[in-house]
Structure 1
Amino acid sequence: MKWKLTGRFLLSVVLIVLFVTLINIVALFSMLIAGKPIFQSHQLNGEEFARNFQRYIVVSDDNIVISEDGKKELIENNAWIQILSENGSEIYRYKAPSGVQKKYTPLEIIQMYKYKEIDGDTTVFVGGEENAYSYFIGIKDRSIGRYVFTYNDENILNQFKTGSIFFMTINGIVALFIGYLFSKRLTKPLNDLIIGIRRLANNEYIMYDPKGVYKDVFYNMNYLSNRLKDNEKERRKLDQMKEEWISNISHDVKTPLASIQGYAEIMKDKDYEFSLEEMREYAEIIEKKALYMRDIIEDLNLATRLKNRELVLNKKIMNIVSMLRNIVIDTLNDSSYSDRNIEFHCSDEIINIDGDEVLLRRAIHNLIYNAIVHNDENVKIIVNVEKKERINIRIEDHGKGIKEEELERIFDRYYRGTNTGESHKGSGLGMAIANDIIGAHGGEIKVDSMIGCGTIIDIQI
């Protein structure tokens, strides 16, 4: 793109220079042609012909004639000859017009040479042998001419200055005009681009026809416009998801908060007498609701720090097998999931990894929890870890599966799957947090799922 623009500007300058130079040449050539017809395309040179004709003149005693070859040359060139003695009297003539004088004074000889004394089509040239004879050769040819002029150095200098100023002025005007045409052609697309950028700033998405020297620029403007349009769609969709998410979170927080508030009001009511067992039951409910709210707040805080890359990993060498086994055991020890069928398999008992144990535990727990809440109680969940080129962790189930449109958004913040039961609500950030934590450790998560066949989550670290 850079070289195209540079080449176009350079071409413009070169064309302007060439055009102005061409105008100067045409003007100069026209002046020369107008002032001196001798430059017209005619092969005969009268001066040279007259000077060289002497070889055809034959002098014997007091008799002077021309050879047969000389006569042929005169006929071929439509010319005639008149030979004069030293005193200007005619000695010999061949094909000379009848009106030509037979004797000339020195002044008449000069006049004969300088001007067309015979007729307007005939130019007379002079030749001769010093101290012997001279001759006139007249050539009748409209294309041959001769002009004798006088000049003054000062006048020529003044005319040169005047002509130079005139030519410079004309050249300047022509250059400005051509430069204006090229500049307009080059700057008009730029003005369109500037207007397009302003429209993009006002969220008006434009499309150009990519052509001309700025074809690549227009193409990229179209690409930018499409990207901004897509980003705007995505932003609106995200805003809608945020609103839905905030509404859900508000509802999910209000429910345990209402329970806490209700039990607290009952417990402080003086009209009621509670047994120790009832007090402990109420306290347990309040504690569960409070822990639920704490988990939501921690998810919000962790998701924000991961998104803004503000979380510093506390890495250390640890055995990933022991960590995964403990996660499975802790999940099964939870009374809510004690009846779930979760299996754990490993290729080796010790597979070390350099990572943040707290965050990795959180990520794996979120993924296992997601497999639990999206499936029925009788679905078996298999957790497997093995060491190949990288550490591979697989969480597999043969449950309901995930719809394709949901699979594309499973790691989006604020997104909740449609299969989640009412009893398993949360922040909606679990999968996004897991994806960010694995990504922070230089790994990646891939999800493969099919409705009715189950889901496989592959983690490569």
Structure 2
Amino acid sequence: MKSVPKLIARFIGILLLSVILLAIINIALLGLILFKQFPDSSNSDSPYQYAQTVADNLTKTGDSFSLDVNDSTTLKKENIWAVLIDENSKQVIWHTENLPNNVPNSYTLSDISSLTSGYIEGYPTYTGSSNDGLVVLGYPKKSYWKHTTPTWKYKFIANLPQIFMIALSINVILILFIYLWFTGKLTRSVNPIVQSIKDLPKSKRVKLNEKGTLSEIAVNINQTSRILQDQEKELKKKEVARADWIAGISHDIRTPLSMVLGYTSQLVNSQTLSTENKQKTKVILRQSEKIRNLVDDLNLSSKLEYSMQPLNTTQVNMVALVRQVVVDFMNNDIEDKYAIEWLTEESLSSCMVYADKDLLKRAITNLIQNGINHNPEGCTIYVTVKQQSEQCVIQVEDNGVGITDAQLEKLNHSPHYMISRDSGLEQRHGLGLLIVKQIVESHNGKMTLGHSHYGGLSVCINLP
């Protein structure tokens, strides 16, 4: 489940980064908008400053007033009107030609106070002082929006940064809470799906709730689980049928084969049979024994494969066991073209393992017999037992015809030696090595095939 927290952490990180970036961008845009929209009295383009400029440029000649040509042109172009209110009489003593009719010609102190911060008849007004009175500029009605009561508590202004940070923190917390709530809901939907995906390779039945945000995935996983369960049931049926078939065939072959072996043995020992026929009978006897051994190997392999062969484990001295197998081969009068050399160090008197003695004896016998069977021209078989760390190592090598790299690769990595598309490989090495591997693996050991430094095949068994 480590991937789910990582996914959530990544989402949270992206969310936080997004919130921070959005906050920075919004603050920058807000500042830019405020800078552009709110007139600054210190800016020469602002109406506050321009009103003072007009007041400064308004000159008096006798009893009349005149305005600079540039200012007159600008006022007319922008549809701005202007008046000069006398400081003493509070009467309009000068105005531009575009003065609206509804603009009064006399003012009280209250009117002057109102127009300084607000409007005259809906026109936003801005003032500038001159030696002769107060200059008032009136802008078009929809050109500016003036705040007539810009009064704030000093405490509020002083605490505005803290208030802003508190408001921002509350917004971030609310966003995180909403996000985590929805993410938690998604996580509760994802966790069962992740666990079910892990259970599928373990052949566990999966049953997910097919409702919610990820219902489509849940439906597909449930379907996959049902298909895998059905396939496993069918596979088990086939395995049982195969095991039963092998057991039945083995039983059916043994009865006629025992009769063939019995009568053939009698013919070999018969005094009336000619020498030539005796030789033919011996061939039949040897081949019949091979068939019997093959049937026994096939039956044992099937039992080992389906864990039907119980292990009678005892403490076994592998040095003594392997030496006994070698002695048995020598006592059975093997042909002169085959020699067995015992290379185990004399100082090693024992190498103890807990194992099924009969099965291990069968495995070592198969390895030596494998060297004999697949080297018809003869060879020397080298047998070694040694102890390495916590393992007992048995190595059987020969200096025979050996094996190609391609065949060795298939033997080491094929899950089943009896299944091979290489006819040459199947003939040279097959069921015998499979049984050895199954016996070794049933004892939690490992079997490795390789090239012998004597030139032939090397089989190494490691038993804990």
3-state SS of 2:227 partner: coil
Match of 1:123 in 2: 124
**Partners in 2 of 1:83 and 1:300 — Cα distance?**
120
Match of 1:82 in 2: 84
CA 309–444 in structure 1, closer or farther in 2 if over 3 Å, else same: farther
3-state SS of 1:143 partner: coil
**Partners in 2 of 1:55 and 1:39 — Cα distance?**
24
Match of 1:250 in 2: 251
Alignment size in residue pairs:
357
Deviation of the 1:365 alpha carbon: 0.7
Matched-pair contact (CA < 8 Å) for 1:307–1:436 = no
Where do 1:33-182 residues align within 5 Å?
39=38, 44-47=45-48, 49-50=50-51, 76=74, 78=78, 79=80, 80-93=82-95, 97=99, 99=101, 101-106=104-109, 109=112, 114-117=118-121, 122-128=123-129, 134-141=133-140, 142-146=142-146, 148=148
Matched-pair contact (CA < 8 Å) for 1:411–1:435 = no
Matched-pair contact (CA < 8 Å) for 1:448–1:455 = yes
Match of 2:325 in 1: 327
CA 411–307 in structure 1, closer or farther in 2 if over 3 Å, else same: farther
CA 110–341 in structure 1, closer or farther in 2 if over 3 Å, else same: same
Match of 1:314 in 2: 315
CA 338–204 in structure 1, closer or farther in 2 if over 3 Å, else same: closer
Deviation of the 1:138 alpha carbon: 1.6
| Between 363-372 and 44-53, the greater mean CA deviation after superposition | 44-53
Match of 2:156 in 1: none
Match of 1:369 in 2: 369
Amino acid at match of 1:354: C
Match of 1:385 in 2: 383
3-state SS of 1:318 partner: helix
2:215 is the alignment partner of 1:191 = yes
Match of 1:221 in 2: none
Deviation of the 1:105 alpha carbon: 4.4
Matched-pair contact (CA < 8 Å) for 1:89–1:103 = yes
CA 238–125 in structure 1, closer or farther in 2 if over 3 Å, else same: same
Amino acid at match of 1:246: A
**Partners in 1 of 2:235 and 2:399 — Cα distance?**
31
Deviation of the 1:84 alpha carbon: 1.5
CA 104–400 in structure 1, closer or farther in 2 if over 3 Å, else same: closer
CA 333–411 in structure 1, closer or farther in 2 if over 3 Å, else same: farther
**Partners in 2 of 1:347 and 1:331 — Cα distance?**
16
Instruction: Give per-residue Cα distances to partners, 1:11-44, cap 9 Å, x unaligned.
Output: 675599689989x99xx99xx99xxx96599974
Matched-pair contact (CA < 8 Å) for 2:126–2:137 = yes
**Partners in 2 of 1:84 and 1:308 — Cα distance?**
123
3-state SS of 2:107 partner: coil
Deviation of the 1:255 alpha carbon: 4.3
Amino acid at match of 2:139: K
Match of 1:350 in 2: 346
**Partners in 2 of 1:410 and 1:16 — Cα distance?**
54
**Partners in 1 of 2:150 and 2:402 — Cα distance?**
114
2:441 is the alignment partner of 1:435 = no
Matched-pair contact (CA < 8 Å) for 1:84–1:133 = yes
Matched-pair contact (CA < 8 Å) for 1:316–1:354 = yes
2:8 is the alignment partner of 1:6 = yes
Instruction: Give per-residue Cα distances to partners, 1:324-361, cap 9 Å, x unaligned.
Output: 4x424423534xx7557421124565263624494543
Match of 1:202 in 2: 226
Amino acid at match of 1:200: T
3-state SS of 1:394 partner: strand
**Partners in 2 of 1:94 and 1:399 — Cα distance?**
119
Amino acid at match of 1:318: V
Deviation of the 1:394 alpha carbon: 0.8
3-state SS of 1:104 partner: coil
Matched-pair contact (CA < 8 Å) for 2:303–2:309 = no
3-state SS of 2:144 partner: coil
Match of 1:217 in 2: none
Compute the RMSD of aligned alpha carbons.
6.6
Matched-pair contact (CA < 8 Å) for 1:438–1:445 = no
3-state SS of 1:458 partner: strand
Structure 2: gaps spanning 5 or more residues: 152-170, 191-211, 262-288
Instruction: Give per-residue Cα distances to partners, 1:178-226, cap 9 Å, x unaligned.
Output: x79x979x98984343222212211269xxxxxxxxxxxxxxxxxxxxx
Structure 1: gaps spanning 5 or more residues: 152-167, 206-227, 261-287, 421-427
Q: TM-score, normalised by structure 2?
A: 0.51
Matched-pair contact (CA < 8 Å) for 1:313–1:355 = no
Deviation of the 1:408 alpha carbon: 6.8
CA 410–253 in structure 1, closer or farther in 2 if over 3 Å, else same: farther
CA 54–415 in structure 1, closer or farther in 2 if over 3 Å, else same: closer
Amino acid at match of 1:45: S
Matched-pair contact (CA < 8 Å) for 1:82–1:94 = no
**Partners in 1 of 2:186 and 2:18 — Cα distance?**
12
3-state SS of 2:338 partner: strand
Amino acid at match of 2:86: L
Instruction: Give per-residue Cα distances to partners, 1:30-75, cap 9 Å, x unaligned.
Output: xx99xxx965999743345446766667899x9896896xx75565
Matched-pair contact (CA < 8 Å) for 2:58–2:65 = yes
Amino acid at match of 2:247: I
CA 297–408 in structure 1, closer or farther in 2 if over 3 Å, else same: closer
3-state SS of 1:146 partner: coil
Matched-pair contact (CA < 8 Å) for 2:412–2:448 = no
